[in-house]
Structures are given as C-alpha cells and as structure tokens.
Amino acid sequence: MRINIREIEKFNSLLKTKFQQDTLPQIKGVALDSRLVQQDDFFIPLKGKAIDGHNHIASAIESGAALVVSEKSSDTAMPIIKVDSTWKILRDLTLEWRRNFSCPFIGITGTNGKTTT
C-alpha cells in the first residue's frame, strides 16, 4: 500500500511533532510495501506472519525513500529512526492524521457482505 500525501506541509509538521525532530526530509507519500516506494516517501516496514518489511529497507531507500522507521538496526547510509513498534507508529500517525477531518468514518467488518456492500 502507498498513500500520496496531498496536504504535505500539515503531514510533515505531524511527523516533526511525532518524532520530536526539527529537521526531517519533506515527505510526499507513505509506503508500507517497499516495491511501491517513490521518491521522497516515508517507508514503514511492517512485520507479518510470512514477511518482514525490515528485510526490504535497503530496497526502499534505493527506490527513493526519504524517511524510514525501523524496529531493528540497519547498516544504511541514510539515518533511520529507531522505534519500538512500526505497527504502533502506523496506528499513532493514523489516529493523529484522522483528527484533521470532521467527516464520519464508517468501517465495514465481518466475514460476509463487504464486497457486495
């Protein structure tokens, strides 16, 4: 998944606040899949049951990632922000970004009916 950021200044301000850093690169998108990373993206590697996105950090950087968070240390030329949990960072950023919108959000869950809905 990759999300293109439309409100770049607002999102970058959120990142500076979240990571308590005054200088961060200008981010234009967020990618959870290293194969979808574009120039100036923020790459968030997630660890799942079968694949660990941390194994693809170098590939994401080669594709143009400007900011990466990681639970693991990595020997790359680009500084990486070390975090306890990339899933928690994703959740926290999502919740904080959601506060910018006043429209209601609806979630459809369950085993049956989502596709037809």
- pLDDT one-digit tens code per residue, 8-59: 888 888 888 888 888 888 899 999 999 999 999 999 999 999 999 999 999 9
Mind listing the pLDDT tens digit for each residue in 72-111? 887 777 878 999 999 999 999 988 888 888 888 888 888 8
Q: At residue 68, what are phi and psi to the nearest 5 degrees?
A: -135, 140
Burial class (CB in 10 A: 0-12, 13-18, 19+), 50: exposed
pTM of model > 0.85: no
Say which residue, 113 or 61, is predicted with more confidence.
61
